[in-house]
Amino acid sequence: MDTKKLRQKILDLAIRGKLVPQDPNDEPASVLLERIKAEKERLIKEGNNKRSKKSAKTSDTPHYGNVPFEIPDNWVWCRLEDIANIGTGATPNRLNKEYYNNGIIPWINSSSTNCTYITEASEYITEKAINETNCKIYPIGTLIVAMYGEGKTRGQVSELLIESATNQACAAISLIDTNIKAYIKNYFEGNYFHLRKLAEGGNQPNLSIGKISNYTIPLPPLSEQHRITTEIEKCFSIIDIIECGKADLQTAIKQAKSKILDLAIHGKLVPQDPNDEPAIELLKRINPDFTPCDNGHYPN
């Protein structure tokens, strides 16, 4: 059983509205979206948020043209920038030691997204680096998407469990309504390969803040999001057990093979037959000059 593909299939069903049943009594996702947009607009007016350059002041749902797939009637398509603030960071000049020496502010790079949660810094920077560069400290709970990176890094998503600044290879996603964070994180995990394909560039294709901000999200009703998250956790816990069982089984198989071979070379795997031609006769036939020696000469 390919458990990686099974996990991907579960996430794919989840983001298409096919993992759990819809409940007609759920508040439609369109109402949730309008509430989030209104809250974002309020924060902008109070000066706590900045408006995206491309965002309109109206809360009307934008037209998306050809959407990637069909979603249930009580879901709604939106862009990530409709429901979150998206930022990034910088790498303070390495030649300026005042940006790093005795730094106490956590700073991460895109490789930190290799884990589901980020619990430690890649490096530490100083307050001076924060004040004089484009670095910004993001709060616990911020989702981090790797925009650059070799191998499997680009497109990975993780979550901050520490307050931290980032480099320019990370997109920091702060959701207006944190209740939808688990679903949005699952959505990015389920769309890992699709997101990677959006990267541009030559030998080292990269994503951009613009592509992340405009990424389309199929938003379910909040109640269904909770059901989806619970079901994913339940399915993944079963897969974890299967994977542990597979690992234990593979270990047992290796140990059994080793034991069988050990018994075989010590003459204990099958019974001896006194009618068999002695092995020394076989050796003499193979090599007529063979001279038998005392078994005691051989080390244990």
What is the pTM for the complete model shown?
0.78
pLDDT tens string 159-214: 999 999 999 999 999 999 999 999 999 999 999 999 998 887 767 789 999 999 99
Is 260 inside any structural domain?
no
The arithmetic mean of pLDDT across residues 213-218, rounded, is 95
More confidently predicted of 276 and 113: 113
The residue length of the chain stands at: 300
- CA 270/CA 76 separation, integer angstroms: 69
pLDDT of 54 strictly over 60: no
Is 268 inside any structural domain?
no
pLDDT averaged over every residue in the chain:
88
Is 273 inside any structural domain?
no
pLDDT of 63 strictly over 50: no
**pLDDT at position 299, please?**
56
Is 39 inside any structural domain?
yes
**pLDDT at position 61, please?**
42
The arithmetic mean of pLDDT across residues 207-224, rounded, is 95
Is 226 inside any structural domain?
yes
The arithmetic mean of pLDDT across residues 260-276, rounded, is 82
Is 291 inside any structural domain?
no
CATH of the domain at 54: 3.90.220.20
Structural domains counted in the chain: 1
> Which domain range does residue 135 map to?
3-240
Is 296 inside any structural domain?
no
| pLDDT > 70 fraction of the chain, expressed in percent and rounded | 92
- What six digits make up the tokens of 66? 């050809």
Model confidence band, residue 53 (pLDDT cutoffs 50, 70, 90): low
pLDDT of 247 strictly over 60: yes
**Contacts of residue 18, Cβ cutoff 8 Å, sequence gap at least 6:** none
Is 156 inside any structural domain?
yes
